[in-house]
A = this chain, B = another copy of it.
C-alpha cells in the first residue's frame, strides 16, 4: 500500500461555495488506487471544505447565506480587524466547517453519495489562489 502525494491550486472568484469534486476525481484516477481513501487538506485559515448537495445551486447559496447571517462582518466584539472586515468572520466560518475531508475510494472512483459534492468554501471577498494538499492510498 503506497501513498500518493499531490497538490492542487484553485483560483476562487471570491466568497461562496465552489465545487471541486472533478479536480479530486481526476487526481484519484491518476493515482490508480482501486480501493482506499483520499485526504483533501486546505492549507488556509480563511477558506475551508464542505461536502454538500451538488444538484441544485440554490442549496449552496442558502448555505453561504446562513454563514453571512450568523457569522456577520463588523461584529462590535471583534478585535482582530487589521486585515479587513471579512477576515475574522473567515476564520470563524472555517472553524465551523472543515480544514480537511476524507473521501473513500471504491473501484477506482470517489465513493460519494448520489447528491454529494466537495466544495471549496471561500470566505474572503476578493479572488484568492488556494492550495490543497492531497494524500491518496489503498490497494492498486
Contacts and interface: CB of A to CB of B under 8 A. Distances in A.
Interface string A52-93: 110010110111011001110000011110100000100110
B104 A80 contact: no
Interface of A: 1-3, 5, 35-37, 39, 41-46, 50-53, 56, 58-59, 61-63, 65-66, 69-71, 77-80, 82, 88, 91-92, 94-104, 106, 111-116, 131, 133, 135, 137-139
Contacts of A59: 80, 88, 91
Q: Is the interface of A mostly helix, strand, loop or mixed?
A: mixed
Contact of A104 (B39, B94, B112): B39
A104 to B, nearest CB: 4
14 contacts: A2-B139, A5-B35, A5-B106, A43-B112, A43-B113, A45-B51, A52-B94, A61-B79, A61-B80, A63-B95, A100-B101, A100-B103, A102-B102, A135-B138
Given A3-B36, A36-B3, A50-B95, A41 B80 contact: no
A111 B138 CA distance: 21
